[in-house]
Amino acid sequence: MTTKSLMTTKSFITVLVSPRELLREGLVLILDAAKFRILFSAACVHDLLQKPLPKHRSILLIMDVDGTDADAGFAQIADFKGIYPTSHVVALADHCRPNDIVSALRAGADAYLTKVAAHDTFIKALELVMLGQTVLPAETSTFIQDIRHGLKHDAVHEFTNVAVTMENADREPSMLSTREDCIIRCLIGGESNKTIARKINIAEATVKVHVKAILRKIRVGNRTQAAVWAMNHGMLTSAPSGTEKTATQPSPHPQELLEAQKGYHLLKNTHPM
Protein backbone atom coordinates (compact mmCIF):
# COMPACT_ATOMS: atom_id res chain seq x y z
CA MET A 1 0.00 0.00 0.00
CA THR A 2 1.33 3.45 -0.90
CA THR A 3 1.94 6.31 1.53
CA LYS A 4 -1.09 8.04 -0.01
CA SER A 5 -3.30 5.04 0.78
CA LEU A 6 -2.01 4.75 4.33
CA MET A 7 -2.64 8.44 4.96
CA THR A 8 -6.19 8.05 3.67
CA THR A 9 -7.09 4.95 5.68
CA LYS A 10 -5.58 6.33 8.89
CA SER A 11 -7.70 9.48 8.64
CA PHE A 12 -10.94 7.46 8.71
CA ILE A 13 -12.53 4.96 11.04
CA THR A 14 -14.44 2.21 9.25
CA VAL A 15 -17.72 0.63 10.33
CA LEU A 16 -19.54 -2.28 8.66
CA VAL A 17 -23.25 -3.11 8.50
CA SER A 18 -24.65 -6.35 7.10
CA PRO A 19 -27.23 -8.87 8.33
CA ARG A 20 -24.82 -11.55 7.06
CA GLU A 21 -22.26 -12.33 9.72
CA LEU A 22 -20.05 -14.26 7.32
CA LEU A 23 -19.87 -11.27 4.97
CA ARG A 24 -18.95 -8.97 7.85
CA GLU A 25 -16.19 -11.31 8.99
CA GLY A 26 -14.82 -11.56 5.44
CA LEU A 27 -14.79 -7.79 5.03
CA VAL A 28 -13.01 -7.37 8.35
CA LEU A 29 -10.22 -9.68 7.17
CA ILE A 30 -9.90 -7.91 3.80
CA LEU A 31 -9.94 -4.40 5.25
CA ASP A 32 -7.64 -5.22 8.15
CA ALA A 33 -5.05 -6.54 5.70
CA ALA A 34 -5.34 -3.24 3.80
CA LYS A 35 -4.69 -1.24 7.01
CA PHE A 36 -8.21 0.13 7.40
CA ARG A 37 -9.09 1.11 10.98
CA ILE A 38 -12.21 -0.99 11.66
CA LEU A 39 -14.06 0.21 14.76
CA PHE A 40 -17.36 -1.68 14.75
CA SER A 41 -19.50 -4.06 12.71
CA ALA A 42 -23.22 -4.66 13.20
CA ALA A 43 -26.23 -6.38 11.66
CA CYS A 44 -28.09 -3.09 11.11
CA VAL A 45 -27.58 0.66 11.46
CA HIS A 46 -29.82 0.75 14.55
CA ASP A 47 -27.40 -1.60 16.33
CA LEU A 48 -24.44 0.41 15.07
CA LEU A 49 -25.89 3.64 16.46
CA GLN A 50 -25.97 2.09 19.93
CA LYS A 51 -22.17 1.96 19.86
CA PRO A 52 -19.94 4.88 20.90
CA LEU A 53 -19.10 6.31 17.48
CA PRO A 54 -16.89 9.41 17.64
CA LYS A 55 -18.69 12.58 16.60
CA HIS A 56 -15.64 14.43 15.35
CA ARG A 57 -13.88 11.77 13.30
CA SER A 58 -14.22 10.92 9.62
CA ILE A 59 -16.33 7.77 9.27
CA LEU A 60 -16.50 5.31 6.38
CA LEU A 61 -19.64 3.15 6.50
CA ILE A 62 -19.77 0.06 4.29
CA MET A 63 -23.42 -0.96 4.09
CA ASP A 64 -24.72 -4.24 2.68
CA VAL A 65 -27.97 -3.23 0.93
CA ASP A 66 -29.00 -6.60 -0.43
CA GLY A 67 -31.69 -8.85 0.95
CA THR A 68 -35.44 -9.16 0.76
CA ASP A 69 -35.96 -5.44 1.36
CA ALA A 70 -33.32 -3.28 -0.31
CA ASP A 71 -35.37 -0.16 0.44
CA ALA A 72 -34.84 -0.81 4.14
CA GLY A 73 -31.09 -0.72 3.52
CA PHE A 74 -31.35 2.62 1.74
CA ALA A 75 -33.48 3.95 4.62
CA GLN A 76 -30.74 2.91 7.05
CA ILE A 77 -28.20 4.83 4.97
CA ALA A 78 -30.41 7.93 5.17
CA ASP A 79 -30.74 7.50 8.94
CA PHE A 80 -26.99 7.22 9.37
CA LYS A 81 -26.28 10.23 7.15
CA GLY A 82 -28.84 12.21 9.13
CA ILE A 83 -26.80 11.69 12.28
CA TYR A 84 -23.35 11.71 10.67
CA PRO A 85 -23.77 14.01 7.65
CA THR A 86 -20.03 14.21 6.92
CA SER A 87 -19.59 10.44 6.83
CA HIS A 88 -18.73 8.59 3.63
CA VAL A 89 -21.08 5.71 2.82
CA VAL A 90 -20.49 2.80 0.44
CA ALA A 91 -23.51 0.71 -0.57
CA LEU A 92 -22.42 -2.87 -1.27
CA ALA A 93 -24.79 -4.92 -3.44
CA ASP A 94 -25.09 -8.21 -5.30
CA HIS A 95 -26.54 -6.61 -8.43
CA CYS A 96 -26.10 -3.43 -10.43
CA ARG A 97 -29.58 -1.99 -11.03
CA PRO A 98 -30.27 1.63 -12.06
CA ASN A 99 -33.19 2.11 -9.66
CA ASP A 100 -31.20 0.79 -6.72
CA ILE A 101 -28.23 3.01 -7.58
CA VAL A 102 -30.48 6.08 -7.72
CA SER A 103 -32.09 5.11 -4.41
CA ALA A 104 -28.70 4.62 -2.76
CA LEU A 105 -27.36 7.96 -3.98
CA ARG A 106 -30.51 9.78 -2.93
CA ALA A 107 -30.21 8.23 0.53
CA GLY A 108 -26.75 9.73 0.82
CA ALA A 109 -24.41 6.99 -0.38
CA ASP A 110 -21.14 8.12 -1.93
CA ALA A 111 -20.59 4.87 -3.81
CA TYR A 112 -22.45 1.83 -5.06
CA LEU A 113 -20.19 -1.18 -5.42
CA THR A 114 -20.97 -4.76 -6.36
CA LYS A 115 -19.60 -7.87 -4.67
CA VAL A 116 -18.14 -9.20 -7.91
CA ALA A 117 -15.35 -6.59 -7.81
CA ALA A 118 -11.81 -7.86 -7.55
CA HIS A 119 -10.10 -7.43 -4.18
CA ASP A 120 -7.64 -4.74 -5.31
CA THR A 121 -10.28 -2.85 -7.26
CA PHE A 122 -12.57 -2.85 -4.21
CA ILE A 123 -9.85 -1.42 -1.97
CA LYS A 124 -8.92 1.25 -4.52
CA ALA A 125 -12.59 2.22 -4.86
CA LEU A 126 -12.83 2.70 -1.09
CA GLU A 127 -9.73 4.91 -1.19
CA LEU A 128 -11.34 7.03 -3.92
CA VAL A 129 -14.49 7.40 -1.81
CA MET A 130 -12.40 8.59 1.13
CA LEU A 131 -10.84 11.17 -1.20
CA GLY A 132 -14.30 12.53 -2.00
CA GLN A 133 -15.09 10.66 -5.21
CA THR A 134 -18.48 9.20 -6.14
CA VAL A 135 -17.83 5.65 -7.31
CA LEU A 136 -20.07 3.38 -9.38
CA PRO A 137 -19.41 0.00 -11.03
CA ALA A 138 -17.99 -0.04 -14.55
CA GLU A 139 -21.14 -1.64 -15.95
CA THR A 140 -23.18 1.50 -15.19
CA SER A 141 -21.79 2.98 -18.40
CA THR A 142 -24.56 1.11 -20.26
CA PHE A 143 -27.35 2.89 -18.39
CA ILE A 144 -25.74 6.02 -16.97
CA GLN A 145 -28.39 8.20 -18.65
CA ASP A 146 -31.06 6.43 -16.59
CA ILE A 147 -29.15 7.31 -13.45
CA ARG A 148 -28.75 10.92 -14.57
CA HIS A 149 -32.47 11.14 -15.28
CA GLY A 150 -33.35 9.61 -11.91
CA LEU A 151 -31.25 12.21 -10.12
CA LYS A 152 -32.09 15.16 -12.39
CA HIS A 153 -34.52 16.80 -10.02
CA ASP A 154 -32.92 15.59 -6.82
CA ALA A 155 -32.15 18.66 -4.73
CA VAL A 156 -30.52 16.59 -1.98
CA HIS A 157 -27.60 15.20 -3.97
CA GLU A 158 -25.53 17.78 -5.87
CA PHE A 159 -22.79 15.88 -7.68
CA THR A 160 -19.42 17.44 -8.30
CA ASN A 161 -17.46 14.20 -8.61
CA VAL A 162 -17.64 11.26 -10.90
CA ALA A 163 -18.48 7.62 -10.91
CA VAL A 164 -15.84 5.09 -11.83
CA THR A 165 -17.39 3.86 -15.06
CA MET A 166 -15.86 2.89 -18.34
CA GLU A 167 -15.78 5.19 -21.33
CA ASN A 168 -13.99 4.06 -24.46
CA ALA A 169 -14.30 0.39 -23.56
CA ASP A 170 -12.71 -0.41 -26.89
CA ARG A 171 -9.51 1.34 -25.84
CA GLU A 172 -7.21 -1.54 -24.89
CA PRO A 173 -3.89 -1.56 -22.98
CA SER A 174 -2.19 -2.93 -26.10
CA MET A 175 -2.32 0.57 -27.57
CA LEU A 176 0.27 1.66 -25.02
CA SER A 177 3.99 1.33 -25.57
CA THR A 178 6.10 -0.75 -23.18
CA ARG A 179 7.22 2.33 -21.28
CA GLU A 180 3.70 3.79 -21.16
CA ASP A 181 2.46 0.46 -19.82
CA CYS A 182 5.04 0.67 -17.05
CA ILE A 183 4.18 4.28 -16.22
CA ILE A 184 0.40 3.81 -16.09
CA ARG A 185 0.92 0.98 -13.58
CA CYS A 186 2.85 3.46 -11.44
CA LEU A 187 -0.08 5.87 -11.67
CA ILE A 188 -2.31 3.26 -10.01
CA GLY A 189 -0.07 3.57 -6.95
CA GLY A 190 -0.41 7.36 -6.98
CA GLU A 191 3.27 7.95 -7.69
CA SER A 192 4.56 11.35 -8.77
CA ASN A 193 6.54 12.03 -11.95
CA LYS A 194 9.70 12.39 -9.88
CA THR A 195 9.20 8.99 -8.22
CA ILE A 196 8.45 7.30 -11.54
CA ALA A 197 11.53 8.91 -13.12
CA ARG A 198 13.75 7.51 -10.35
CA LYS A 199 12.22 4.04 -10.68
CA ILE A 200 12.78 3.60 -14.39
CA ASN A 201 15.83 5.85 -14.69
CA ILE A 202 14.56 8.49 -17.09
CA ALA A 203 14.19 12.26 -16.83
CA GLU A 204 11.19 13.66 -14.97
CA ALA A 205 10.33 15.76 -18.05
CA THR A 206 10.26 12.56 -20.12
CA VAL A 207 7.80 11.01 -17.68
CA LYS A 208 5.58 14.08 -18.06
CA VAL A 209 5.60 13.63 -21.84
CA HIS A 210 4.68 9.95 -21.50
CA VAL A 211 1.83 10.74 -19.08
CA LYS A 212 0.37 13.26 -21.53
CA ALA A 213 0.59 10.65 -24.29
CA ILE A 214 -1.18 8.10 -22.10
CA LEU A 215 -4.03 10.50 -21.29
CA ARG A 216 -4.44 11.27 -24.99
CA LYS A 217 -4.41 7.62 -26.08
CA ILE A 218 -6.97 6.39 -23.55
CA ARG A 219 -9.00 9.62 -23.73
CA VAL A 220 -9.14 10.61 -20.09
CA GLY A 221 -8.57 13.97 -18.46
CA ASN A 222 -6.16 13.38 -15.59
CA ARG A 223 -3.88 10.91 -13.81
CA THR A 224 -6.56 9.61 -11.47
CA GLN A 225 -8.87 8.79 -14.37
CA ALA A 226 -5.95 7.02 -16.06
CA ALA A 227 -5.36 4.95 -12.91
CA VAL A 228 -9.03 3.93 -12.76
CA TRP A 229 -8.97 3.07 -16.49
CA ALA A 230 -5.92 0.88 -15.87
CA MET A 231 -7.61 -0.90 -12.96
CA ASN A 232 -10.69 -1.59 -15.05
CA HIS A 233 -8.40 -3.11 -17.69
CA GLY A 234 -6.76 -5.51 -15.25
CA MET A 235 -3.47 -3.64 -14.90
CA LEU A 236 -3.15 -3.84 -11.11
CA THR A 237 -0.37 -6.40 -11.38
CA SER A 238 3.29 -5.56 -11.89
CA ALA A 239 4.70 -4.74 -15.30
CA PRO A 240 5.07 -7.65 -17.77
CA SER A 241 8.32 -9.58 -17.88
CA GLY A 242 10.99 -7.85 -19.91
CA THR A 243 9.71 -4.32 -19.24
CA GLU A 244 10.89 -1.77 -16.73
CA LYS A 245 9.95 -3.10 -13.30
CA THR A 246 7.74 -0.96 -11.11
CA ALA A 247 9.08 -0.85 -7.58
CA THR A 248 6.82 -1.56 -4.65
CA GLN A 249 8.24 1.27 -2.57
CA PRO A 250 5.46 3.78 -1.78
CA SER A 251 5.45 7.31 -3.11
CA PRO A 252 6.46 9.90 -0.52
CA HIS A 253 4.48 12.68 -2.18
CA PRO A 254 1.18 13.55 -0.42
CA GLN A 255 0.38 16.16 -3.07
CA GLU A 256 -1.01 13.26 -5.10
CA LEU A 257 -3.99 13.45 -2.71
CA LEU A 258 -4.81 16.89 -4.03
CA GLU A 259 -4.68 15.72 -7.62
CA ALA A 260 -7.01 12.83 -6.83
CA GLN A 261 -9.60 15.27 -5.45
CA LYS A 262 -10.13 16.87 -8.87
CA GLY A 263 -12.76 14.21 -9.62
CA TYR A 264 -14.26 13.16 -12.90
CA HIS A 265 -17.46 15.25 -13.11
CA LEU A 266 -19.35 12.44 -14.82
CA LEU A 267 -22.88 13.15 -13.68
CA LYS A 268 -22.69 16.89 -14.26
CA ASN A 269 -20.90 17.70 -17.46
CA THR A 270 -18.71 14.97 -18.89
CA HIS A 271 -18.97 11.45 -20.21
CA PRO A 272 -18.66 8.18 -18.32
CA MET A 273 -15.13 7.03 -17.72
In CATH terms, the fold of domain 173-260 is Arc Repressor Mutant, subunit A (1.10.10)
How confident is the model at residue 156, as a pLDDT? 44
The pLDDT score that the predictor gives to residue 158 is 44
Q: Tell me the CATH architecture of domain 3-165.
A: 3-Layer(aba) Sandwich (3.40)
Q: What is the pLDDT of residue 226?
A: 82
The predicted pLDDT at position 134 comes to: 82
Q: In this predicted structure, what is the pLDDT of residue 242? A: 39
The confidence score (pLDDT) of residue 262 equals 34
Q: How far apart are CA 34 and CA 263, in angstroms?
A: 23
> Taking the CB of residue 162, how many other CB atoms lie within 10 A of it?
27
Among residues 226, 225, 86, which one has the least CA distance to residue 162? 225
pLDDT confidence of residue 202: 92
Residue extent(s) of CATH 3.40.50.2300 domains in the chain: 3-165
Sequence ranges of the chain with CATH classification 1.10.10.10: 173-260
Going residue by residue through the chain (273 aa), what tens digit of pLDDT does each one get?
Answer: 555 555 556 678 999 999 999 999 999 999 999 889 899 999 999 999 998 888 778 899 999 997 557 788 899 999 999 999 999 999 999 888 888 888 898 899 999 998 887 888 888 888 888 888 888 877 776 666 666 666 765 544 444 344 444 344 445 666 788 899 899 988 887 889 999 999 999 999 999 999 999 988 888 778 877 887 777 676 754 444 334 433 333 333 333 333 333 332 333 333 333
135, 231 contact by CB (below 8 A): no
